[in-house]
A and B are shown apart, each in its own frame.
Chain A
Amino acid sequence: MARAVTTQHKTIATAVAWVVALLIFFPILYTIITSFKSETEAIAGFNLIPSFTTESYAEVQSQYNYFKPFMNSVILSLGSTILALLIAVPAAWSMAFSPTRRTKDILMWMLSTKMMPAVAVLFPMYLIFRNLGLLDSRIGLTVMLTMINLPIVVWMLYTYFREIPGEILEASRMDGASLWGEIWYVLTPMAVPGIASTMLLNIILAWNEAFWTIRLTATNAAPLTAFISSFSSPQGLFWAKLSAASTLAIAPILIMGWFSQKQLVRGLTFGAVK
């Protein structure tokens, strides 16, 4: 009896969840489907079965060599993530394990640096980047992405580190471990999942940043956000080409997200678990 109820419950939950999930996923799914249609097919009304032509992909590739912006996206998002972690891990560490009265204020202040709308500082930033010779350079953009995501990274790491029980530290001190030994052997293994998911989140945020990455680049450093901007509203029919370009732009990060979602979820709590 009890088992029957459970099965029924499970069936209903499965059905509802799948319907909802497919609805949420639908815009992405339909874009992928449309990318395999011809242009005339793409505007010919609702149709879930494309003719599986790859002509749009060929057309997109012939207009804009995908490889270059793809590599730039990889370099920028990985580079800025590593840089942000190098700066943020010590900071989050110290705030989590040696909190002071000001810790909370510092955290909030860090978050508040994100509140200046990027559009308002475009002109000053452009001038600064020009004077430093950093326009259209990967280094400049890496620094930019690092700085705009740093507050989130610090906060996420902080909330994760705070969950690590302090007793472990005490215990290791009893054992006479040096400070560095304490960090390296005791805490690092416990912190790795949090660092990993922070890294994943930051890669996603950096990959999808679409203001500075378009405004501060020309050819050398332009990532996939600039790539998509060249397909956004040309003259003529463009639905299938736009779908193909969109699919290409989001596919790498989508696939990375799918494979690493367990890892991502584990640390993406911002201290929400308690």
Chain B
Amino acid sequence: MKLKLLVLSLCSASALAFAAHAESITIATVNNGDMIRMQKLTDDFTAKNPGIELNWVTLEENVLRERVTTDIATKGGQYDVMTIGTYEVPIWAKQSWLLPLDNLGADYDAADIIPAIAGGLSVDGKLYAAPFYGESSFVMYRKDLMEKAGLTMPDAPTWEFIGEAARKMTDRANGINGVCLRGKAGWGENMAFLTAMSNSFGARWFDETWKPQFDQPEWKNTLDTYVKLMNDAGPAGASSNGFNENLALFQQGKCGMWIDAPVAASFVSNPKDSTVADKVGYALSPDNGLGKRGNWLWAWSLAIPAGTQKSEAAQKFVSWATSKAYLDLVASKEGWANVPPGTRTSLYNNPEYQAAAPFAKMTLDSINAADPTKPTVKPVPYVDVQFVAIPEFQGLGTTVGQLFSAALAGQMSVDDALKQAQDAATATMTEGGYIQ
């Protein structure tokens, strides 16, 4: 009996000692290029922080979101660091699911984070997630095709110009489409683009009393313009195109213009993969002269769930991954063009980065052109640009996205799609207790 006790206490003592020496934290990440690069550079972190071991869970975006949301909602405790977006941060912080990041180290320089991004990741002035990679959206276009069409792209084009240019550039006999836009259904797919676009058309998801606004002329105008533009000048099968499909089309020289995240610029300007690397120009997202541009704002960020036992190690990791030093590390190993963009002002003041990334200025201008606190022309009760930061939006946005995708595919008229979207939104908002 005594022996058993002794053995037990020895075991637990050694377990404690072991835990003190090697603490392992589990990090859930999305499988995009910047995150994968970070995983390959973790030796730098473990060298600086002996005794912290990193375990990675890398998943495709939708599966990741589903996994981490389930885990945090059930307090499953599977992860010590989660990669989440600007959508989750305000909702989760409100539920007290996230730890405020107030212990990121003396040299972290949180003031250097681009204000628009920091704003999207803070609640009541406290930072709840550290941005790893930030993005807006802008226009990428083929200078040669634009010239051939006899047009010049202004730095800040209008939708009217984009429409005209797209139709003139289209040459279906040679497989050239004037414009490639997202069409695949999803709140983070076509709805990211369409919601941002609708902002520049003066539309909004909800009025101040949370009443859905799809029955208003602004939305009809948005969706009409989009569907007609894509029918006249878009690629075949546009309703299943997301970022990757459009990227591949653009890289093969099949798109005149493409409006998407600036991260695409580093792909299309890379001569290894892109046949049009030396012909790409950049411009701000279009507007309609109403004071809002059609660009979005997103940041993949690292957050720490409130339930973790290892918050200290987790904060160390978050601090490392989103620090200035990390940007330098990537630059020294892989070149400045591969540095995760969109998080720190200092990066955009760095002449080496400006030289390596010709799209740097346009990226920063795009991010600054988005205002998550006042996204629309008319007043709204919600924050954020290309989505509405309420828990119901993921489902509602996807439902509406499917309807709009069906309108693009020609399976439904624009009016029907808008009417059903209005019905779905009204049902969701009633059920959620926003409207009576």
Contact = CB atoms under 8 A, between A and B. Distances in A.
B26 to A, nearest CB: 6
A42 B28 CA distance: 29
Given A219-B26, A230-B58, A136 B78 contact: yes
A120 B274 CA distance: 44
B9 interface: no
Given A130-B77, A230-B58, A235 B70 contact: no
Interface in A186-234: 214-215, 218-219, 222, 226, 229-234
A118 to B, nearest CB: 13
B205 interface: no
Contacts of B66: 215
A47 interface: no
Contacts of A235: 32-33, 243-244, 247, 263, 267
A260 interface: no
B61 interface: yes
B343 interface: no
Scoring A39, A214, A230 by chain B CB atoms within 10 A of each residue's CB, the highest score goes to: A230
B31 interface: yes
A67 interface: no
A230 B31 contact: yes
A127 interface: yes
B55 A215 contact: no
A219 B33 CA distance: 20
Contacts of A229: 59-60, 63
Interface in A113-137: 122-123, 126-127, 130, 135-136
Given A43-B248, A235-B244, A237-B251, A226 B74 contact: no
Contacts of A43: 248, 252
Interface in B15-33: 26, 28, 31-33
A270 interface: no
A233 B61 contact: yes
A64 interface: yes
A40 interface: yes
Contact of A219 (B55, B75, B263): B55
A40 B78 contact: no
Contact of B76 (A64, A126, A214, A232): A126
A234 B32 contact: yes
Interface string B223-256: 0000000000000000000111001100110000
B56 A219 contact: yes
Interface in A3-49: 39-40, 43
B63 A62 contact: no
Contacts of B63: 214, 229, 232
Scoring B31, B40, B61, B67 by chain A CB atoms within 10 A of each residue's CB, the highest score goes to: B31
B309 interface: no
Interface in B56-104: 56-61, 63, 66-67, 70-71, 74-79
A236 interface: yes
B430 interface: no
A130 B60 contact: no
A230 B59 contact: yes
Given A214-B63, A219-B55, A230-B31, A122 B244 contact: no
B273 A40 contact: yes
Contacts of B40: 62
A238 B59 CA distance: 15
Contacts of A64: 58
A130 B74 contact: yes
Contacts of A135: 76-78
27 contacts: A43-B252, A63-B39, A123-B70, A130-B75, A135-B77, A214-B59, A214-B67, A215-B66, A215-B70, A218-B26, A218-B57, A229-B60, A229-B63, A230-B31, A230-B58, A231-B60, A233-B31, A233-B242, A234-B31, A234-B33, A234-B60, A234-B244, A235-B32, A235-B244, A235-B263, A236-B247, A237-B267
